[in-house]
Amino acid sequence: MSDTPTEKPAPKKRKRINVRKPDVMAKVEAEVSNHYKSSVVEKLREHGGIVTLGNTTIKLAQQFGFCYGVERAIDLAYASRKVFETNPIYLIGEIIHNPEVNRQLQQMDIVSLPWQEMNEQYDALTDNDVVIVPAFGAPTSFVEKIEERGASIVDTTCGDVMKVWRRVRTYAKEGYTSIIHGKAGHEETLATASHALGKEKNGHYLIILTLEDTDFVCDYVKGKISDADFMSRFGKSNVSAGFDPSVHLKQVGVANQTTMLKSETEEIQNRITAAVRERDGDSQNCQVFDTICGATQERQDALFDMLKEPMDMLLVVGGYNSSNTTHLVEIGQEELPTFFIRDAGCIESLEQIVHFDLEEKSEITSEYKNLLDQDQHVTVGITAGASCPNNLIENTILRVCELRGISKSEILEM
Ligand code: SF4
């Protein structure tokens, strides 16, 4: 980056770079495998995801961990460093929501830029710089700025996220306001909201998160809530500039962040459709489109399957800011003691687990004595979000086994 950005004329707009060259990808594959693979996870998979040693049963969900979108994003980030060996490389925020993966990228001198708003670092980009767009994508204004500065872009946005963007751009083109089920402070939802403005930038959006938000919107649609009350509930960050509910909720299209809870997204679609039907006599002015991604769906379904059999506890491994991992925790904690852990280090002892509490939104320590009694049979379920590498899942399995008196070699020799 230059120290005197204002003195330099903006360089010529650069094209996006394809770093997927066969020789590069061969090296990347070896490096990624070395960083994140797990012989223990492979062994468990060979055994159908379930293993019993002595008094301990470990069960892995049938689908867990890295999804195709995350694998691709990591591959492209690693490839960037190989293709641009000496150029400064920047990343908008985090490549995915996992501290271990982001640490590895930092070690490659890939520097994170702010993702919530652009600062002077963006103004200082030059045509010698490379900027990686993460798997969640980035708002259009960020990408336009990077292009304007002439920096090279390596775009790792997942295809499933781009599918949502296409949908909300269509809503904008047809004059429908996008109601986005997602987290207003999540990278993907920010990016999707920017696309909901459409090519002409005259579209509108409203971001809702909960069923309570949905009911509030439905009550407005049914004429039970004033404009002022509506706008005071959904502050600036949840609506597009110039949003007027009396105008912009006449025609709505529902979309969602790809990693939401499917059952909740369906309920939101149903409630909004019913409210529009009640107002208009039919639901022509409401479009719905399920944009939950396949990987999120598979991980949720696999957990529901695993929960059909009794277990003593569930460990969900992943970054605390990971949306899809959070929903796995929500599913689990409805049924049994569930601990959302960052890595194996959170399992401090047989009776103390450090974990993220979704209610308190912070890491807490809980006592859990069920693991203590070595004479008692214990079944521990383990799953992980789409951004969690297998090596962290292996460490978790090994930590539980260690505390229950089982060695790694016992697992590998099964
Ligand atoms: S969780 Fe879904 S949308 Fe996100 S990167 Fe993975 S496949 Fe793509």
**353 in a domain, yes or no?**
yes
**Using one digit for the tens of pLDDT, what is the confidence trace for 251-293?**
999 999 999 998 999 999 999 999 999 999 999 999 998 888 9
**Residue 96 DSSP label:** S
Which residue, 195, 220, 193, 221, is CA-closest to 207?
193
End of a domain among 266, 288, 310? 288
The answer for residues whose C-beta is within 8 angstroms of residue 162's C-beta and 6 or more apart is 137
Active site residue 147: no
Instruction: Let me know whether 342 and 270 are in one domain.
Output: no
End of a domain among 224, 259, 288? 288
The answer for residues whose C-beta is within 8 angstroms of residue 157's C-beta and 6 or more apart is 133, 134, 135, 136, 137, 138, 191
Rounded CA-CA distance 142/356 in Å is 31
Rounded CA-CA distance 352/367 in Å is 5
Instruction: Let me know whether 320 and 357 are in one domain.
Output: yes
pLDDT value of residue 369: 73
pLDDT value of residue 4: 47
Tell me how far the alpha carbon of residue 325 lies from the centroid of ligand 1, in angstroms: 12
Instruction: Let me know whether 184 and 275 are in one domain.
Output: yes
- The residue type at 359: E
Which CATH number goes with the domain that contains 93?
3.40.50.11270
**6 in a domain, yes or no?**
no
Rg (alpha carbons) of the chain, rounded to whole number: 23
**Using one digit for the tens of pLDDT, what is the confidence trace for 66-92?**
999 999 999 999 999 999 999 999 999
Instruction: Let me know whether 101 and 45 are in one domain.
Output: no
Catalytic residue among 94, 188, 264, 394: 188
324 lines ligand 1 (CB under 6 A): yes
Rounded CA-CA distance 399/349 in Å is 9
pLDDT value of residue 367: 87
pLDDT value of residue 329: 98
Return the bridge partners of 353, or none: 347, 366
Ligand 1 atom showing the smallest separation from residue 386 Cα: 1
End of a domain among 124, 158, 192? 158
pLDDT value of residue 350: 76
Please identify every stretch of the chain with a pLDDT value under 70, giving residue numbers as ranges. 1-15, 370-372
**222 in a domain, yes or no?**
yes
Ligand 1 atom showing the smallest separation from residue 68 Cα: 7
**127 in a domain, yes or no?**
yes
pLDDT value of residue 236: 79
Which CATH number goes with the domain that contains 331?
3.40.1010.20
132 lines ligand 1 (CB under 6 A): no
pLDDT value of residue 305: 97
Q: Which structural domain, as residue segments, surrounds residue 208?
A: 160-288
3-state class (DSSP) for residue 24: helix
Residue located nearest, by CA, to atom 6 of ligand 1 = 69
What values do phi and psi take at 119, rounded to 5?
-120, -165
Instruction: Let me know whether 395 and 376 are in one domain.
Output: yes
In the numeric block, the tokens 């409401």 are attached to: 286
Tell me how far the alpha carbon of residue 241 lies from the centroid of ligand 1, in angstroms: 28
Tell me how far the alpha carbon of residue 383 lies from the centroid of ligand 1, in angstroms: 16
What's the number of CA atoms in the CB half-sphere (13 Å) around residue 40?
Answer: 24
Instruction: Let me know whether 206 and 217 are in one domain.
Output: yes
**Residue 127 DSSP label:** T
pLDDT value of residue 374: 73
Question: For a pocket test of ligand 1, which of 64, 66, 68 has the largest count of ligand atoms closer than 8 A to its C-beta?
Answer: 68
**7 in a domain, yes or no?**
no
Instruction: Let me know whether 326 and 388 are in one domain.
Output: yes
Name the domain count of the chain.
Answer: 3
Which DSSP string do the residues of 142-155 spell out, in sequence order?
Answer: HHHHHHHHT-EEEE
A 10 A CB-CB count for 194 gives 21
Instruction: Let me know whether 140 and 188 are in one domain.
Output: no
**352 in a domain, yes or no?**
yes
Query: How much is the pTM?
Result: 0.90
Tell me how far the alpha carbon of residue 222 lies from the centroid of ligand 1, in angstroms: 35
